[in-house]
Structure 1
Amino acid sequence: MVEGIIYRYRTGVAWRDLPGSFGPWQTVWERHQAFSRDGTWDRIHAQLIAEADAAGEVDWTVSVDATINRAHQHATTLSRQERPAGLTGG
């Protein structure tokens, strides 16, 4: 079951396209949903991080990216305020 969930995220396939060797896709999806709701994945992640950190296998270096991305003027959803011809300025 867990291998089916990992396979789905690793490959990016739709749930319905899971190979039959993992069992019915609905069952795999339902288990994933249950683990997400009850916090099982969070507990597993916390335990794995704690073990890796204790073994010195985690690099806690943080990188901050200050890149600014601006949308093209035509990408906005706001309409332009039309000005009468001949008027300039703001």
Structure 2
Amino acid sequence: MRGDLTDEEWAIIGNLLPPERGRWSRTAQDNRLFLNEMLYVLRVGCPWRDMHERYGKWNSVYVRFRRWAEQGVWDALLETRLNWPDR
């Protein structure tokens, strides 16, 4: 989908995302999908509940978004982005 992470971008930041643990959590391989889902909501400015259905359950995306915020994942991603070469 337009706006999703490119393979080049994913190669840079994929390892910065924590693996998910727990009985019901989705695997770490889903992190790229979850991040694309989060970026979609932030890019278009829609409420989480109005997230595009191709991405799955909005609540799962929101919970991971909040967890990553609490763990400082967003700060690490922003630091990495600041160090990317200009396109």
> TM-score, normalized by length of structure 1?
0.55
Work out the CA distance in 1 between the residues paired with 2:56 and 2:64: 12
Pairwise CA distance, 1:19: 1.3
Q: Find the partner of 2:64 among 31, 34, 45.
A: 31
Task: State the one-letter code of the partner of 1:33.
Answer: R
Q: Which has the higher contact order (CA 8 A, sep 6+)?
A: 2
- Are 1:13 and 2:13 counterparts? no
RMSD: 1.4
Cα-to-partner distance string for 1:58-78 (whole Å, 9 max, x where unaligned):
xxxxxxxxxxxxxxxxxxxxx
Q: Which runs of 4+ in 1 moved over 4 A?
A: none
Work out the CA distance in 2 between the residues paired with 1:33 and 1:41: 10
Structure 1 unaligned segments of length 5 or more: list them.
58-90
Secondary structure class of the residue paired with 2:75: helix
Structure 2 unaligned segments of length 5 or more: list them.
1-33
> TM-score, normalized by length of structure 2?
0.57
Structure having the higher helix fraction is: 2
Instruction: Give the percent of matched residue pairs that are identical in Structure 1 and Structure 2.
Output: 24
Work out the CA distance in 1 between the residues paired with 2:82 and 2:43: 19
